[in-house]
A and B are shown apart, each in its own frame.
Chain A
């Protein structure tokens, strides 16, 4: 199931440091992508192809099973985990032979990582930020976008806090909407930067194409600010939501359910309905035990069996009020059956896993399952396979 997004390989020749589109020979011939940005996957048919001819066409590099020796163009070979790369993907190869998959054609979801920096320090951050200058990513993303499949339905942007790229984020989203004319975009942001209405106004040309996923952890400032470890964040986020809303942007509110957010979750639901009924989606989310979440387990852990009632009640009220609600990262066996229609298979496949118990489960095919990092200590005591007879109800 969970296929990692990186591996290693050997390389010869002078590889470009730009992102490369992996293509089969057939797809290369369709001519959709610039040849000097393509890596032709010859792992299954190397003997049928004249490498010199490919080199003279201007192809960037080839992907082979073994060292070709004296190849006329740059080559990658001996990929340690061959399944990590497939035609259609876009990869970045570092000098040391490390391969990162930036886009995977077969994935259930693709996300572009925009920056490691953040202005909040959420207690449960699964991707702890680092204060480094990584603005080089803007250039790389602009190089990546034209290599992504043009018929892609959905592309996410994460971080870190993408708005810390300033106008760089604007540039990225404008380019994305040109390069991928029918794709819908989703940007995860804490929304604080949008308190500046001039900044929000810069995104006018992508309104309608982007959904902004903004976390809100409480209906009161003190608690939200505590969860995100940033005084004043609540007011900034609320202002940001209104600034985006006023400009007609699509907004999704996200709340991670844990011991800090649970006590006021129902009130948060009512707050959202009362104060921002214009948001297009509300997602209540189970915890991903990664990053800070691991170290803060004592502050955060609630068995889903114990939060089920409150989560379901909050979701039901929002949904009855006409809001769009989803439950993310919540295994079906930890929810009441009537709430199953709200549960989504929300975990990206490269980090999605199931417990041993799930083998015998009838609804595994529609269950979110677990993060790879969700070991037994983070799973609910209610975890138990659903039997066929129960499903027939």
Chain B
């Protein structure tokens, strides 16, 4: 990203009406452009102070390039840092081969260093679940517990980008993912029952929609659609996309989720044809299939997925991975809610409200 693009992106950011902004840096590997991150952070902090807005910084990084200086910077500017951890060494190294080295070892060391500087609260990890990972959830979950993480996100491989190219090697049918998820969730609930506190982030997100009156902040399940209405992506080359998937679609030669460029005003970007298209097709309650679905109050539309699969943003639920996956997840969670085992309900409510019930807290 050039300095000029950076300045323009910050201008656009603060033209948005939201009083509280979350700025996420992602790549590639964002730490390879650390001076740019420093610049952006400074620009955004100064501007936020001026305009009286609240900003939260987050970053997704392998941490491999995180020196103590970088970690100190992330701590001082209150970053929420998310790194990649796919499981124990055999799984992780299989997913992320490094010629002549173990990426698992490097990640482990990086996590230890990061924890020492950032503390456990600011550090979380994301799993990439490949076909290989699906063999067994337990070792992956155990690895998270062993490294002291309080949360694990068992989400399937994104059907975009890198994943598409290596799809044959890594991808898997949704049913296989769901079977894996169900088994993994059961295992996590068992752990919680035995006193090990670990949250499954996907369940926590969906349950927050189901068990509270508040709308989700999770961009993939918002209705009206999160893309564009809740998130914007400023690319290093100055393009503006409605979501990360929009950027990946672009790499696949499809510009349907591109809003324009940072040189245009926020107003112009938000009234682009792309945003009109998203507004017209981004309400799950009005989409064929979704409008009659029992789960629609907790679900959201998936225009990016529909575009990539069928070329149009409405798509067809019958062959939507997003739909199959979420119907499956809702079935699993509602089965637990219907079964209503007290210790499971207690774990769920603890995840949802991020606090333990009083009788246990005392």
Contacts and interface: CB of A to CB of B under 8 A. Distances in A.
Contact of B362 (A275, A321, A322, A338): A338
B213 A320 contact: no
Given A320-B349, A320-B353, A322-B353, A277 B214 contact: yes
A338 B213 contact: no
A249 to B, nearest CB: 19
B213 A274 contact: yes
B213 A336 contact: no
A273 B352 CA distance: 14
A275 B212 CA distance: 10
Interface string B322-362: 00000000000000000000000000011001011111001
A321 B356 CA distance: 10
A341 B213 CA distance: 26
A362 interface: no
B206 to A, nearest CB: 17
B362 A337 contact: yes
Contacts of B213: 273-275, 277
B355 to A, nearest CB: 6
A316 B359 contact: yes
A207 to B, nearest CB: 20
A321 B212 contact: yes
A338 B212 contact: no
Interface residues of B, number: 12
Interface residues of A, number: 18
B353 A316 contact: no
Given A273-B213, A275-B213, A321-B212, A336 B359 contact: yes
A295 B350 CA distance: 44
A278 to B, nearest CB: 10
A275 B213 CA distance: 7
Contacts of B349: 317, 320
A274 B297 CA distance: 14
B21 to A, nearest CB: 23
Nearest to B358: A316
B340 to A, nearest CB: 14
Contacts of A337: 362
Interface string A330-358: 00000011110110000000000000000
Given A273-B213, A275-B213, A338 B353 contact: no
Given A273-B213, A275-B213, A321 B358 contact: no
Contact of B358 (A274, A275, A322, A342): A342
Contact of B353 (A274, A315, A321, A336): A321
Please classify the interface of chain A as helix (H, G, I), strand (E, B), loop, or mixed, using the class held by over half of its residues.
helix
A309 to B, nearest CB: 11
A274 B212 CA distance: 7
A320 B214 contact: no
A229 interface: no
Contacts of B359: 312, 316, 336, 338-339
Interface string A271-312: 001110100000000000000000000000000000000001
B358 A341 contact: yes
A319 B214 contact: no
Nearest to A312: B359
B358 to A, nearest CB: 5
A321 B358 CA distance: 11
B357 A320 contact: yes
A312 B358 CA distance: 10
Interface in B203-228: 212-214
B358 A320 contact: yes
B317 to A, nearest CB: 28
A316 B357 contact: yes
B354 to A, nearest CB: 9
B174 to A, nearest CB: 32
A312 B359 CA distance: 9
A339 B353 contact: no
Contacts of A317: 349, 357
Nearest to B346: A320
Contacts of A321: 212, 353
A320 B355 contact: yes
B358 A338 contact: yes
Contacts of A312: 359
Contact of A341 (B212, B357, B362): B362
B319 to A, nearest CB: 35
A319 B358 contact: yes
Nearest to A277: B213
Nearest to A339: B358
Contacts of B350: 320
Interface in A333-387: 336-339, 341-342
A238 B61 CA distance: 49
Query: Which of the listed residues B214, B356, B358 has the most CB atoms from chain A within 10 Å of its own CB?
Result: B358
Contacts of A339: 358-359
Contacts of A277: 212-214
A119 to B, nearest CB: 30
A235 B85 CA distance: 53
A275 B358 CA distance: 23
Nearest to A319: B358
A335 to B, nearest CB: 11
A14 B212 CA distance: 64
A161 B342 CA distance: 42
Contacts of B353: 320-322
A320 B214 CA distance: 15
Interface string B33-64: 00000000000000000000000000000000
A198 B356 CA distance: 42
Interface in A134-149: none
A342 B350 CA distance: 19
Contacts of B357: 316-317, 320
B343 to A, nearest CB: 15
18 contacts: A275-B213, A277-B213, A312-B359, A316-B357, A316-B359, A320-B349, A320-B350, A320-B353, A320-B356, A320-B357, A321-B212, A321-B353, A322-B353, A336-B359, A337-B362, A338-B358, A339-B358, A341-B362
Interface of A: 273-275, 277, 312, 315-317, 319-322, 336-339, 341-342
In the A-B complex, list the 5 residue pairs whose CB atoms are closest, starting with the nearest: A338-B362, A338-B359, A274-B213, A316-B358, A320-B357
Interface of B: 212-214, 349-350, 353, 355-359, 362
Given A277-B212, A316-B359, 4 more contacts: A273-B213, A317-B357, A337-B362, A338-B358
